[in-house]
Amino acid sequence: MTISRRRFVLGAAAMAAAAAVNVRAFAAAAQATGLKDYYKNDFLIGTAMNAATFTDNDVALQQLIAREFNAITAENAMKWEVLRPELNKWDWDISDKIVEFGTEHDMHVIGHTLVWHSQVPDAVFQDDAGKPLTREALLARMEEHINIVVGRYKGRIPTWDVVNEAIEDDGQWRKSHWLNIIGRDYIAKAFELAHKADPSAHLMYNDYSMFLEKKRQGVVDMVRELKKQKVPIHGVGMQGHLGISGPDLAEVEKSIIAFANEGVRVHITELDVDVLPSVWEITGADIATRFDYKPEMDPYRDGLPAEKEEQLAERYEALFKLFIRHRDKIDRVSTWGTSDDASWKNDFPIKGRVNYPLLFDRNREPKLAWHKVAAVPAAVNR
């Protein structure tokens, strides 16, 4: 072999080795980069954390969440029946662990939720004899609960879902125990109490099916009324429990604009995309809704077909393009869970189905939808 030939071969080998190193470096960098990094100039990217993440010591999931997200919400740990199963009994274990995890990883923690009609023990609304509380007694109970919960995490939880799902799909106020006993000012009282407990906290109203015209107007009217009364409401959470082909994203966009026009920040909360056949055209997230299992309503037990996987990815891509377009109005986009295996949509509204609504599969691997979502900021910002 001539000297020049030898130099060429060695040079080519060196270049190949360097290229291999670069490929490995790129792969390592990609593995260390999460959605939060792709959207760092747009809005927070969040997820919900469940109790099993800690009770099962699921380190792999914890690491995935820390890599991908910069905001977390307790899926159930801060709801009344979990946090306070009895009036004089508190269980702070998982709630504290979620806040500690968020603090350790420099995450924005969302407290969920202070006042809700669901997942609240009946005793909350009753006196010792089992009779309905008076307005004054229930207000006192609300104040005690908010003071204790918000006070415990003051300075560590910067955002609270103060009131959850108080407006029906037709725009009317839900006839909950809170409304029936206290009256229409219960929402204003809840926000005022939360503000008093932590004056620096960002306080939100959170609800599903916000793309419905009547519901959108009902929430707009409520926010407008609260603002007129100088009630400290700062944000509206639009739950993103959507289908693979509906609703029309134009209606979602109308709601983003409508709420922003009322002077509140918009949060896209509880985002997931249902790929299974709809049941009676249900679009909401009322956990009391249940139907019997039928095999024809569970068609993808052996895996999601490629065409459906592509359709899901395109739906997520379209959603995030919409969110980017309104990043001046949106503070956060949070999925309701991280991987398909732990999604509540496997059991709602039919228990035992196999659903694929999130960005990571059952092996915690990023799906095509993840890749589509990750590519949106670069494509939009060219």
* Catalytic residue ranges: 270
Q: Which of 40, 112, 45, 50 is nearest to 319 (CA)?
A: 45
Burial class (CB in 10 A: 0-12, 13-18, 19+), 309: middle
Across 349-379, b (16+ Cβ under 10 Å) vs e yields bbeebbbbbbbbbeebebbbbbebbbebbee
What are φ and ψ of residue 45, in 5° steps? -120, 120
The answer to whether 215 touches 209, Cβ cutoff 8 Å, is yes
Both tokens assigned to 279: 């049941």
The residues facing 44 across adjacent strands are: 332
